[in-house]
Structure 1
Amino acid sequence: MKKFDLPYFLNLLPLMIKYVTVTFKMSILSLGFGLFLAIIIALIVHMKVKVMYPIAKMWVSFFRGTPLIAQLFFLYFGLVQIFPSLKGIDAFTAVVIGLSFNASAYMAETLRAAIGSVDKGQMEACLSVGMSYMQAMRRIILPQAARVAIPPLSNSFIDIIKGSSLAFTLGVTEIMAVAQSEGASSYRFLESFTAVILLYWIIISIFSYIQKILEKKMNESY
C-alpha cells in the first residue's frame, strides 16, 4: 500500500496554481454572458412576451433539466454534425458557451423571482407618472431586485467555478486537467486529486467570504 507522498503533493500545488487563471477566465466570461442572457430571459418571462415566452420557458427547462457534462458534449461534439461550420470552435470557447447557457437558466429563475418580490404597486406608480416599462425596470425595479438576487447569483458564480472542472473532458488544460494528467503519469492519484480538491475548496471559500461581505454592505446601504 502506497503512503501519501507529501513532497509530491506540495510540488503539484504550484503547477496547478499556474492554471487557476484559466479557470477564472472561463468562469468570469461564463458569468458575464450567462447573466446577460438571464436578464433577457427573466424579462421575457416577466413580460410574457408572445412567441418568445414559450421559447424562454423551454430554454430554462432544458438547461436545468439536463446534466452539464451532457450539454457540453452535445455542444462540442454533437452540433458539429448538424452545423459543420462549428468545427472551427475551440474547446475553451465551447466550455464558456456551455457554462453560460447552463448558468443563464438558473440565474434567469433567480432574477425572475427577485423581480417578482418587488411590490407590483411600484411598477404601477412608475407607469402612472409616464415612465415606460423598461425605464421603470432599469431605474426602480431592477435595483431593488438586485439586492434580493445577489446571494443566489453569487452561488451561481460558485457553481460556474465548480462546473468549469468539466472543461478537461473537452481538452482544456486547467486545474482538473493537470490533476488528471499528473495522476495518470505518476499513478499518484490520491495526491493529485487531494491537491485539486483542496485548491477548489480554497477558491470557493474565498468567494464565499467575499459574498458575505457584499451582502453585508448591501444590507447596510438599505
Structure 2
Amino acid sequence: MFDKTDRKHSAPDTGPADAGPVTKDGSPEAGAPEAVFTPPEAIKAIPVRHPGRWVSGVIVTGLLVALVYAFAQGDIKWGTVGDMAFDGQVVESAGKTLWISVLAMALGVVLGVLLAVMRLSKNPVTSTVAWLYIWFFRGTPVYVQLLLWFNLALIFEYLNIPGVYKDEMTDVMTPFMCALLGLALNEAAYMAEICRAGIVSVDQGQTEASQALGMTQSKTMRRVVLPQALRVIIPPTGNEFINLLKTSSLVYVVTYGELMRTTSQIGSTSYAVMEMLFVASLWYIVMTSVFSVGQYYLERRYARGSQRDLPPTPWQRVTANLFSGSGRRTTPAGGTR
C-alpha cells in the first residue's frame, strides 16, 4: 500500500481532474467545483515532400505539350479527320470489323474450350491432336494463315462432301469466310491454353468430390470445374478479344471490306493518307475502350467469389469525391488527414 507521500510522487493521472467532494450516491455535493476536461493537443502531421514527383510531372507535361504542338503545326487537315470519321463508308466498315471480330472470338472460345479439354484428356490420341493444333496455329503468323485460306482453291478445286454438298472452292471461300476462319482458328489456339490454365487452377478436390457424389466427368466439367475456372479465364479472354479486334485489320489482304481496307482506299484516292489513318485509329480506340470498360465490370463480377470487399469502381470513386467536399477527414485528435 502507498501512503499519501507516495501518491505525490506517482505517475500523474491522465484522466479528468478531481471532481471534488461527492455524496454517498456518487453525485457532487452542492457548491462543489465542476470537473474540468482538458482535450488532447491536436497532432500536427508534417507531410513528406517528394520533389522527384514534381520534377517527373513537369518533364512529362512538357513532352506532352511539345507532342501536341508538333501535331498541331504539322501538315494535317484535322477538318478532314472530323468530316470523314462519320462518313457512311467508314461507319459501315467499322461495323464489319466489329462483326467479324465478335464472330471469330465466339468461334475461337468454343473451339478453345474443346481443345483445352482434349489437351487434358488421358487419351493420348486426342491430347496429341490438340497439342499439334496449338503448336501449328501459334507457330505461324495470322497473315500467312489468312493467305492460306484465301488461296485454298489452288490446292482443292472443289469442296466435295459425297452425297451432301459439292461446290467450287472459290465460291465457298469468300472474303468473309477466309477472314472468319483465319481469325477464329488462330484465336482458338490461344484460347485453348487460357482455358487449360483456368481448368488446372481449380482444386483437384472439387473434381473428386463431384465424382464421389455420382456426377459424370462431363457433368463435373460443366457444372463444377468450368464455372470456377471462369474467374481465371475471363481477364486474359478480354485481352485476347481486344487484341483480336486490332488483328482484324490484317484481313484486308483477303479483300474483306473492313475498317483498315476502307480507310486505306479512301486515303489513296483523296490523297489524305495520314488523315484517314487517324480516322481508323480513332475508331479502333473507341471500340477497344468500350470493350475495356465491359471487361472491367465482368472481371469485377466474377471476382466476388474470391474477394470479400471489392474495391470501388471508378464511377464510385468520382461520386464519393464529389459528395465528400474537400475529401479531408477529421481525426479523433482534432487534426485532419
TM-score, normalized by length of structure 2?
A: 0.63
1:133 corresponds to 2:214: no
After superposition, residues 17-166 of structure 1 pair within 5 angstroms as: 17-77=91-151, 79-85=152-158, 86-88=169-171, 89-166=173-250
1:159-209 Cα deviation digits (max 9, x unpaired): 221111112111111110111101111221111111111210121111111
Q: Which has the higher helix share?
A: 1
Matched position secondary structure for 1:122: helix
Mapped pair 1:173 → 2:257 = yes
Runs of 4 or more, structure 1, over 6 Å off, are none
Deviation at 1:220, TM superposition (A): 2.5
Q: Secondary structure at the match of 1:14?
A: coil
Higher deviation after alignment, 27-36 or 133-142: 27-36
2:279 paired residue number: 195
Q: Which has the higher contact order (CA 8 A, sep 6+)?
A: 1
Query: What's the CA shift string for 1:7-58, capped at 9, x where partnerless?
Result: 2111211122232211111011111111111111000011133322111111
Q: How far apart in 2 are the matches of 1:21 and 1:188?
A: 22
Q: Which deviates more, 110-119 or 128-137?
A: 128-137
- Give the match for residue 7 of structure 1: 79
Alignment length (residue pairs): 221
Amino acid at match of 1:131: M
Matched, 1:216 2:290: no
Displacement of 1:221 in angstroms is: 5.0
AA of the residue aligned to 2:272: R
Task: Check conservation: 2:230, 2:302, Cα contact below 8 A.
Answer: no
Three-state SS of the structure 1 residue aligned to 2:85 is helix
Equivalents in 1 of 2:303, 2:113: separation in Å?
23
Rounded to whole Å, the distance in 1 between the matches of 2:278 and 2:75 is 13
Q: What amino acid is aligned across from residue 239 of structure 2 in structure 1? A: N
The amino acid across from 2:105 in the alignment is L
Report the 3-state secondary structure (helix = DSSP H, G, I; strand = E; otherwise coil) of the residue aligned with 1:148: helix
Unaligned runs of 5+ in 1: none
After superposing the two structures, state which structure 1 stretch, 160-169 or 109-118, moved more: 160-169
Alignment partners' CA distance in 2, 1:13 and 1:200? 11
CA–CA distance in structure 2, aligned partners of residues 36 and 219 of structure 1 = 23
* Runs of at least 5 residues in structure 2 that lack an aligned partner in the other structure: 1-73, 159-168, 307-337
CA distance in 1, matches of 2:302, 2:130: 30
Equivalent position SS for 1:4: coil
Range with greater deviation from structure 2 (168-177 or 16-25): 16-25
Partner Cα separation in structure 2 for residue 48 and residue 101 of structure 1:
24
Residue identity matched to 1:90: T
For residues 118 and 305 of structure 2, the distance between their equivalents in structure 1, rounded to whole angstroms, comes to 30
